[in-house]
Homo-oligomer: A and B are copies of this chain.
């Protein structure tokens, strides 16, 4: 069977249908009419020799193969988007770099990295892109960003090359007046079930929220507000104290897993600019380790 390549148009169409599970809505989202979409998907199925959708007269469901394709198609489309972005960037010839990080996190470290990049004899122009939690991977994959600052073990680093920059313990952020605020140190267990300060719930990859008493949050700004209002409790890497609020206290949570801040990039990247930025990041790490040693 000579399977000629799938066209990206077909992948876009399939992704739309697979995500909407509804031909009409998918067609609307794609800006085309429903019948051509139905036809395109049928053709795709026929070409692959695989049934992708179970069409119940009332709606549509993905088969196992369909689930597989949905996943593969997304990464393929990301790769294509990355191709255009990187090509255009290369054409601009810029010694410039897009760095993506979570809004609000890693303030001091970021400053140091940027300063180091500035200090180069041939300075790299670093554009900083702030995004919601969990979006970094996608932006890196689709070429919007060249490097990301991410956190192990929280972020999904699969498929990226990474370089550790900083490992640190975590602290709980509490209202100054809270009973736990006077403690020297805390345990995870103590922090997890504070009745009046339930831990906030972040959305999963599919957008739904886990069960629990805590408020639902989607970004750091909302979270910061909730913390400031004394509505929730927060366990974050020690260095993120940078966005602390005067009315709150940071108490080390000694058995919380260490968080490692890493710079991540696409392994397929051949950009010299990325390479030199990573080298700078390693220098910053060395510097941090030295000053750590002096502290203790």
Contacts and interface: CB of A to CB of B under 8 A. Distances in A.
Interface in A38-94: 48-52, 63-65, 67-69, 71-73, 75-77, 79-84, 86-91, 93
Nearest to A82: B72
Contacts of A19: none
A71 B270 contact: yes
A80 B90 contact: no
Nearest to A159: B267
A275 to B, nearest CB: 13
A68 B50 contact: no
Interface stretch (A3-11, A196-204, A276-284): A3-11
A118 interface: no
Contacts of A79: 72, 75-76, 79-80
Contacts of A84: 3, 5-6, 48
Interface string A186-223: 00000000000000000000000000000000000000
A95 interface: no
Given A5-B81, A159-B267, 12 more contacts: A3-B84, A5-B9, A5-B12, A5-B77, A7-B7, A51-B91, A52-B87, A64-B90, A64-B91, A75-B268, A76-B76, A76-B83
